Amino acid sequence: MSDIRVGLIGYGTAGAYFHAPLIHAAEGLTLAAVVTRDAGRAADASTRYGARAVPSPGELWDLCDLVVVASPNRTHVPLATEALTRGKPVVVDKPLARTAAEARELAALAEERGLMLTVFQNRRWDGDYLTVRELVKGGALGEVHRFESRFERWRPRPKGGWRESGGEEEIGGLLYDLGSHLVDQAIELFGPVREVYAESDVRRAGVSGDDDTFLALTHAGGTRSHLWASALAARPGPRFRVLGSLAAYVKDGLDVQEERLRAGLTPDSPGFGEEPEERWGTLGDTERQGMVPTLPGAYLDFYRGVTACLREGAPPPVTPESVAGALAVLEAARRSAAEHTVVTLA
Question: Which segments of the chain are extended strands (E)?
Answer: 4-9, 29-35, 52-54, 66-69, 90-93, 117-120, 144-152, 193-201, 212-219, 224-230, 240-244, 248-251, 281-284, 289-292, 343-344
pLDDT, residue 24, reads 98
| CATH code, domain carrying 186 | 3.30.360.10
Residue 2: pLDDT over 90: yes
**Together in a domain, 8 and 68:** yes
**Together in a domain, 86 and 149:** no
How would residue 204 be classed by pLDDT, with cut points 50, 70 and 90? very high
How would residue 160 be classed by pLDDT, with cut points 50, 70 and 90? confident
Query: Residue 13: inside a domain, yes or no?
Result: yes
pLDDT, residue 169, reads 80
Query: Residue 68: inside a domain, yes or no?
Result: yes
**Together in a domain, 77 and 115:** yes
Average pLDDT over residues 9-27: 97
**pLDDT tens digits for 60-101?**
999 999 999 999 999 999 999 999 999 999 999 999 999 999
**Together in a domain, 103 and 114:** yes
**Together in a domain, 37 and 68:** yes
pLDDT, residue 127, reads 98
* Pairing relationship of beta strands 248-251 and 281-284 according to DSSP bridges: antiparallel
**Together in a domain, 252 and 155:** yes
**Together in a domain, 96 and 130:** no
pLDDT, residue 258, reads 97
Provide, rounded to the nearest whole percent, the portion of the chain with pLDDT above 90: 95
| CATH code, domain carrying 101 | 3.40.50.720
**Together in a domain, 160 and 255:** yes
**Together in a domain, 90 and 142:** no
How far from 83 is each of 45, 96, 128, CA to CA, in Å?
A: 21, 14, 34
Query: Residue 209: inside a domain, yes or no?
Result: yes
What is the rounded CA–CA span in Å between residue 86 and residue 23?
A: 22
Residue 261: pLDDT over 80: yes
**Together in a domain, 115 and 241:** no
Query: Residue 256: inside a domain, yes or no?
Result: yes
Contact 227, 214 (CB under 8 A): yes
Mean pLDDT computed over every residue of the chain: 96
Residue 163: pLDDT over 90: no
Residue 159: pLDDT over 90: no
Average pLDDT over residues 308-315: 97
Total domains in the chain come to 2
Query: Residue 236: inside a domain, yes or no?
Result: yes
**Together in a domain, 214 and 335:** yes
Phi, psi of 259 (to 5 degrees): -65, -30
pLDDT, residue 112, reads 98
Residue 105: pLDDT over 80: yes
Query: Residue 16: inside a domain, yes or no?
Result: yes
Query: Residue 282: inside a domain, yes or no?
Result: yes
**Together in a domain, 31 and 159:** no
How would residue 162 be classed by pLDDT, with cut points 50, 70 and 90? confident
Residue 161: pLDDT over 90: no
How would residue 167 be classed by pLDDT, with cut points 50, 70 and 90? confident
Residue 329: pLDDT over 80: yes
How far from 82 is each of 6, 58, 189, 303, CA to CA, in Å?
A: 16, 10, 33, 22
SS3 content of the chain, % helix, strand, coil (to 5): 40, 25, 35
Query: Residue 323: inside a domain, yes or no?
Result: no
Give the domain extent around 46.
Answer: 4-121+302-314
Average pLDDT over residues 124-140: 98
